[in-house]
Structure 1
């Protein structure tokens, strides 16, 4: 996943680290754009319009991504892999210049849950980088719980899930990273059976022609977002859903993002410049 992970656990048995690593390795083997023989890469190399059966974990993430895509009216788009490659954020590596504008062909991803099969439109390439890391956190967390490890804080590349409590009886307290351009004080969050994910436009990008381009794409324009959002943080029981929704809300802009978060009962905080926009569910957690 191009990042590292950490685990703080109460009385973990031998093999806990290996169990977490195995869960993350499974996600990479199935859903990585950078692994040539991953299930995702082989699907993207296959013929457009052809159905492909995929493993259960892969199917679970695709279904969740498409659910968020529908709920966000396409702000989350799992089929924009060709765009991320063209802009230098995929397996081909960085680019030095802004790519030419191109027509937006069919980026449809179809999923049949009954048979765990997917197919893609002519212009679609599956890209789950906006949700798969969060799922990796969940998969590893479920392994820990299944093996009797009830109290832990698991972090993968800045996405976190906290279960149970610390040995001193406190919840797992974490600080939300604020954009370097913001003077807003970071939030401190108690992760007690809860996950948090942050999407930040300042984390990955490149500069060309005196302008900075982020790695977050607006599916409607096929270009990096330019809506003033610096970061979006979402709290959710499942880290996968927090991750995917943070990606979607980043695309929408502050006002539309909070409106959608309120519609779906999401605890979300959007930072744009030196201003915070928080949803009703986020505000309720302050009480």
Structure 2
């Protein structure tokens, strides 16, 4: 997945690292946009309009992605694969110039959940980079729980899930990453059976003609987002849902994002400029 991972576990069970890596490997084999033989890459190369069977884990993530897309009125869009490739955030690697605007096309992914199969419209290609990493954390965490490991903190590329408590009886404390230009103090969160994901516009991107272009895209324009939002953090029991919603809220301006988080009952914090916005559920967790 192009990143590192870490595990802190209070357990005498052996072979944990290999099991966690096997779970991450399953996600890569199924959902990586960078692996040419992944299920996702083969689906994107398959003829449009044809149903294609996919593994159940893949179908589960597509279902969650489509649910978030629907609930966010398209702010989260898993059909942007061709556009993110064109802007240098896919398997072909980075670009050094701004690409031409892509024509407006019909982008649809349909899921037949009962039979674990999907199909796409001509203009749609899957890109699950805004949600699959969080799912990888969940998949590895469920494997750990299945091995009888009840107390651990698992991190993959900045997405974290904490279960149980530390050996000293304390919860798994983590600090929320803040944008490097922000003077806002980071939140310290106790991850007790809870996950956290942060989407930051400062993390990935490229510079062309003296301007920084984010890896977060506005589905309405097919271009990197242009807003003061620099960071969104979401807390959720599911790391996959925290990851997907952090991506979705990043696309919206502060007012719309927090209003949507309130409507969805999400604990979310957003940094825009040097100002912080928090949802009602986030404030409730402070009590």
- The change in CA–CA distance for 1:10 and 1:211 in structure 2 (over 3 A counts) is same
- 2:154 alignment partner, SS class: strand
Q: Once the 2 structures are TM-superposed, how far is the Cα of residue 210 of structure 1 from its aligned partner?
A: 1.4
What is aligned with 1:182? 182
CA deviation string 1:167-215 (max 9, x = no partner): 1111000000100111000000000000000000000000111111000
What is the RMSD of the two structures over their aligned residues, measured on CA atoms?
A: 0.5
Q: Answer yes or no: is 1:52 the counterpart of 2:52.
A: yes
Q: Structure 1: how far apart are the matches of 2:39 and 2:104?
A: 25
Q: Structure 1: how far apart are the matches of 2:250 and 2:213?
A: 14
- 1:271 alignment partner, SS class: strand
Q: Answer yes or no: is 1:78 the counterpart of 2:62.
A: no
Q: Structure 1: how far apart are the matches of 2:202 and 2:52?
A: 36
Q: Once the 2 structures are TM-superposed, how far is the Cα of residue 102 of structure 1 from its aligned partner?
A: 2.3
What is aligned with 2:105? 105
Q: Answer yes or no: is 1:30 the counterpart of 2:30.
A: yes
CA deviation string 1:72-117 (max 9, x = no partner): 0000000000110000000000001001112121110100111111
Runs of 4+ in 1 over 4 A off after TM superposition: none
Runs of 5+ unmatched residues, structure 1: none
What is aligned with 1:13? 13
Q: Structure 2: how far apart are the matches of 1:90 and 1:166?
A: 38
Q: Structure 2: how far apart are the matches of 1:266 and 1:63?
A: 19
Q: Structure 1: how far apart are the matches of 2:221 and 2:101?
A: 9
Runs of 5+ unmatched residues, structure 2: none
Q: Once the 2 structures are TM-superposed, how far is the Cα of residue 12 of structure 1 from its aligned partner?
A: 3.8
Contact kept in structure 1, 2:199 and 2:250, CA below 8 Å = yes
What is aligned with 1:129? 129
- 2:197 alignment partner, SS class: strand
What is aligned with 2:69? 69
The TM-score with structure 2 as length reference comes to 0.99
CA deviation string 1:249-273 (max 9, x = no partner): 0001111000000000000001001
Equivalences for residues 264-283 of structure 1 within 5 A: 264-283=264-283
